[in-house]
Chain A
Amino acid sequence: MDIVTLVQQLVNGLSLGSLYALIAIGYTMVYGILRLINFAHGDLIMVSAYVAVMGVGLFSWPWPVAFGLAVVLTGLLGVMLERGAYRPLRRAPRISLLISAIAASFFLENLFLVLAGGRPKPFPTPPWFAGVLKWGGVFIPRLSLLIPVVTAVLLAALFLLIQRTQVGRAMRAVAHDLETVSLMGVNVDRIISLAFLLGSLLAGAGGLLWAMKYPQVNPFMGIMPGLKAFIAAVLGGIGNLAGAVVGGLLLGLLEIMIVAFFPAWAGYRDAVAFGLLIVILLVRPTGILGESLGEEKL
Chain B
Amino acid sequence: MLEVINLEVAYGAIRALSGISFTVPQGRIVALLGANGAGKSTTIRAIAGLVPVKSGRIVFQGEEIQGRPPHFINRRGIAVCPEGRRIFPNLTVLENLLLGGYGRKDKDSFRQDITGVFRIFPRLEERRHQRAGTLSGGEQQMLAIGRALMSRPRLLLLDEPSLGLAPLLVREVFHIIERLNQQGTTILLVEQNAFAALNIAHYAYILENGRLVLEGPGPELLADPHLREAYLGEGLDF
By a beta-carbon cutoff of 8 Å, the part of chain A in contact with chain B is 166, 169-170, 172-173, 175-177, 179-188, 296-298
Contact = CB atoms under 8 A, between A and B. Distances in A.
Q: Which of A169, A177, A179, A181 has the most CB of B within 10 A?
A: A169
A181 B99 CA distance: 8
Nearest to A167: B102
B69 A173 contact: no
B103 A176 contact: no
Given A169-B91, A183-B50, 5 more contacts: A166-B102, A166-B103, A173-B88, A183-B48, A184-B102
B99 A170 contact: yes
Nearest to B103: A185
Interface string B72-95: 001100011010001011110001
Interface string B47-76: 011100000000000000000011100110
21 contacts: A166-B99, A166-B103, A169-B91, A169-B95, A170-B99, A173-B88, A177-B86, A177-B88, A179-B50, A179-B86, A180-B86, A180-B88, A181-B99, A182-B70, A183-B48, A183-B70, A183-B80, A183-B82, A184-B100, A184-B151, A185-B75
A297 B88 CA distance: 11
Given A172-B90, A179-B50, A180-B82, A188 B102 contact: no
Contacts, number: 67
Nearest to B92: A169
A296 to B, nearest CB: 7
A187 B91 contact: no
Interface of B: 48-50, 69-71, 74-75, 79-80, 82, 86, 88-91, 95, 98-100, 102-103, 147, 151
Contacts of B98: 166, 169
Contacts of B50: 179, 182-183
A298 B99 contact: no
Contacts of B99: 166, 169-170, 173, 181, 184, 186
Q: Which of A180, A181, A186 has the most CB of B within 10 A?
A: A180
Contact of A172 (B75, B79, B88, B103): B88
A298 B70 contact: no
B75 A184 contact: no
Given A169-B95, A169-B99, A182 B71 contact: yes
Nearest to A166: B102
B102 A170 contact: yes
A169 B103 CA distance: 12
A74 to B, nearest CB: 28
Contact of A182 (B69, B79, B89, B90): B69
A60 B3 CA distance: 64
B30 to A, nearest CB: 20
A185 B74 contact: yes
Contacts of A182: 49-50, 69-71, 74
Contacts of A170: 99, 102
B94 to A, nearest CB: 10
B102 A296 contact: no
Given A169-B99, A170-B102, A176 B74 contact: no
Given A166-B102, A173-B99, A184 B91 contact: no
Contacts of B69: 182, 187
A42 to B, nearest CB: 28
Contact of B71 (A185, A296, A298): A185
Nearest to A175: B90
B88 A298 contact: no
Contacts of A297: 90
Contacts of B74: 182-185
Contacts of B90: 172-173, 175-176, 296-298
A80 to B, nearest CB: 21
Closest 7 CB pairs of A and B: A185-B74, A182-B70, A180-B86, A173-B88, A187-B71, A184-B102, A185-B102
A296 B75 CA distance: 28
Nearest to A186: B102
Contacts of B95: 169
B109 to A, nearest CB: 16
A138 to B, nearest CB: 43
Contacts of B70: 179, 182-183
